[in-house]
Amino acid sequence: MDKIFKALADKNRRKILTLLKNGEISVNEILKYFDNIGQATLSSHLAILRKSQLVDYRVCGKQRIYRLNNDVLIIFAENMRKFAGRLDESLIEEIAIRGQKV
């Protein structure tokens, strides 16, 4: 869990995960979404995401194609419920109603 928290602490790594939620994407394609980082920095971010097991990749020729590791994400989300507890649907509806009245 500590490695996952470390991986999620950086906004660029969260952006990478968001890009991968739509499917597999190559390193070169990921890099196109970042104006402020270079190839070496992106590789470092991807290494941290791999060590946390949030992503994995396959090799296709000279390219690495990255994808989310949904199994790890699901387990992480289930563990996070320990902190939040189970939210009752009526509570969620009440919050939504209150939000509309304000």
Measured CA to CA, the distance from residue 19 to residue 17 in angstroms comes to 5
Residue 12 pLDDT: 96
What type of residue is 91?
L
Residues 6+ apart with CB under 8 A from 23: 67
Show the tokens assigned to 3: 């490695």
Question: SS3 of 4, please?
Answer: helix
pLDDT digit string, tens, across residues 87-102: 555 555 555 555 443 3
Domain spans of the chain?
2-101
- Helices (DSSP H) in 9-88: which residue ranges? 11-20, 27-31, 39-51, 70-84
pLDDT digit string, tens, across residues 47-86: 999 999 999 999 999 999 999 999 998 888 888 877 766 6
pLDDT digit string, tens, across residues 8-42: 999 999 999 999 999 999 999 999 999 989 999 99
Residue 81 pLDDT: 76
Task: Give strand pairing partners of 25.
Answer: 66
In the CATH scheme, what is the code of domain 2-101?
A: 1.10.10.10
